[in-house]
C-alpha cells in the first residue's frame, strides 16, 4: 500500500505556515555521493543552514530528481530543528541522512520514498516520527528515540536501542534486536517482522495478524530465559516462528518466558519452529500464572 508523501509534506507545510516556521530547502543539485555536511550553508537554497535553535524546518526532498548515485548527508554537530523532512526519489538511488550527535526536533519528522535516517546518538521529536513509502530509520546500538513512531510502509531497525513513546507498525520491514519500548507496541500488518530476544515493552503489546520471526540466542543476555517482557497486556493474533541460534543445548529442554503484568490472548497452535531440530523435540506454548504474575511459556520437550 502506497501513501502520498506529497500530501504529508503539504500538511507539514501548512502547519509550519500557521506557526510562522520557515522551511529551508536542501539543494538537491549538490553532489553528495561522497558526503555533504548538513551544516554547510552552501548546500541549502538561499545559503542558510537550517540548524539554528529550532527556528526552521529542514526539507531534503529528492522527489522530482533521478539521482544515479547514493546521496549521503552527515551531521557531526547537534541538530536543533522545528521539523525534518527527508524524502528520496522512488526511481533514484537512496538518500541517507546520518546524525553522529544528538538530534532534537520540536515538531514532526517524516522519512519516505527510498530515504533513510540513521541516528548514532539520541533523537527526540515532540510531534512524532512517520516512516512511509519505504522510508527507513536505523537506531545504532545504545542510541534512543523519544517520540511516538508510526511506520506506514517504512522500514525500522532498532539494535539494542530504546524508544521512549509508543510504536505503531502497519507495513514495511521491522527489525527489533534487543529493543526497549516504554509505551505500547502495535504490529498490525507488517510485511516482515523480526524480533531478537530480549524485547521489553512498557505498555501493551498487540501483535497480529502478521507473521513474526522470533530469534533466541543462548544465553539470552541479562534476562536469562525471558524472551519478551511486557508490562501490559499481550495480544497475539499472528503466527510466531521461533529460531534458536544454537540448538546444541536443547537436549536439556529449556523453557523461555514471555512475562506480562496483564493477561494474554493467544492461540497455542500459533507457534512453530523455524529450525531443523530433531523430530523428538517439540515446542509447547501455553499460558500460566505463578503468584499473580502471568507467563507464556515456550518449552522444548523431549517426546521420547
Tens of each residue's pLDDT in the chain, 304 residues: 455 555 455 545 545 544 557 899 999 999 999 999 999 999 999 999 999 889 899 999 998 887 889 999 999 999 999 999 999 987 778 999 999 999 999 999 999 888 999 999 999 999 899 898 888 999 888 888 999 998 888 899 988 889 999 999 888 888 888 889 999 999 876 668 888 878 889 999 888 777 777 777 654 444 556 778 888 887 877 777 777 665 554 445 556 666 666 666 666 556 665 555 555 555 555 666 666 666 666 655 555 4
* Domain enclosing residue 191, as ranges: 5-243
d(CA 98, CA 243): 32
Tell whether 203 is covered by a domain.
yes
Q: Domain count for the chain, please give it.
A: 1
Tell whether 272 is covered by a domain.
no
**Distance in Å from the first CA to the final CA of the chain:** 48
Could you tell me which of 18, 42, 133, 47 has the C-alpha nearest to residue 85? 133
Tell whether 282 is covered by a domain.
no
Tell whether 98 is covered by a domain.
yes
Which residues share a beta bridge with 194? 175, 213
Provide φ and ψ at 175, rounded to 5°: -125, 110
Q: Which residues contact 76 (CB under 8 A, 6 or more apart)?
A: 37, 39, 100, 101
Tell whether 285 is covered by a domain.
no
Tell whether 303 is covered by a domain.
no
Amino acid at each position: 500500500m502506497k501513501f502520498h508523501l506529497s500530501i504529508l509534506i503539504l500538511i507539514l507545510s501548512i502547519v509550519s505556515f500557521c506557526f510562522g516556521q520557515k522551511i529551508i530547502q536542501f539543494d538537491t543539485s549538490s553532489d553528495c555521493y561522497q558526503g555533504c555536511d548538513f551544516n554547510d550553508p552552501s548546500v541549502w537554497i538561499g545559503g542558510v543552514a537550517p540548524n539554528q535553535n529550532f527556528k526552521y524546518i529542514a526539507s531534503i526532498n529528492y522527489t522530482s530528481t533521478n539521482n544515479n548515485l547514493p546521496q549521503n548527508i552527515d551531521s557531526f554537530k547537534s541538530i536543533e530543528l522545528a521539523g525534518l523532512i527527508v524524502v528520496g526519489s522512488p526511481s533514484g538511488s537512496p538518500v541517507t541522512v546520518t546524525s553522529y550527535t544528538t538530534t532534537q526536533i520540536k515538531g514532526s519528522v517524516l522519512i519516505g520514498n527510498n530515504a533513510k535516517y540513521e541516528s548514532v546518538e539520541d533523537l527526540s521529536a515532540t510531534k512524532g516520527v512517520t516512516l512511509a513509502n519505504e522510508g527507513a530509520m536505523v537506531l545504532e546500538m545504545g542510541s534512543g528515540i523519544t517520540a511516538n513512531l508510526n511506520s506506514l510502509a517504512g522500514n525500522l531497525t532498532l539494535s539494542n536501542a530504546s524508544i521512549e513513546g509508543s510504536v505503531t507498525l502497519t507495513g514495511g520491514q521491522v527489525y527489533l534486536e534487543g529493543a526497549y519500548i516504554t509505551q505500547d507496541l502495535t504490529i498490525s500488518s507488517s510485511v516482515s517482522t523480526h524480533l531478537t530476544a530480549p524485547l521489553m515493552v512498557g505498555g501493551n503489546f498487540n501483535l497480529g495478524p502478521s507473521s513474526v520471526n522470533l530469534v533466541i540466542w543462548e544465553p539470552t543476555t541479562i534476562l536469562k530465559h525471558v524472551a519478551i517482557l511486557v508490562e501490559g497486556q499481550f495480544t497475539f493474533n499472528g503466527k510466531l516462528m521461533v529460531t534458536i541460534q544454537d540448538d546444541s543445548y536443547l537436549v536439556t529442554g529449556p523453557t523461555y518466558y514471555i512475562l506480562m503484568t496483564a493477561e494474554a490472548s493467544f492461540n497455542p497452535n500459533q507457534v512453530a519452529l523455524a529450525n531443523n531440530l530433531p523430530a523428538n523435540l517439540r515446542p509447547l506454548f501455553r499460558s500460566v500464572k505463578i503468584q499473580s504474575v502471568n507467563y507464556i511459556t515456550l518449552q522444548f520437550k523431549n517426546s521420547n
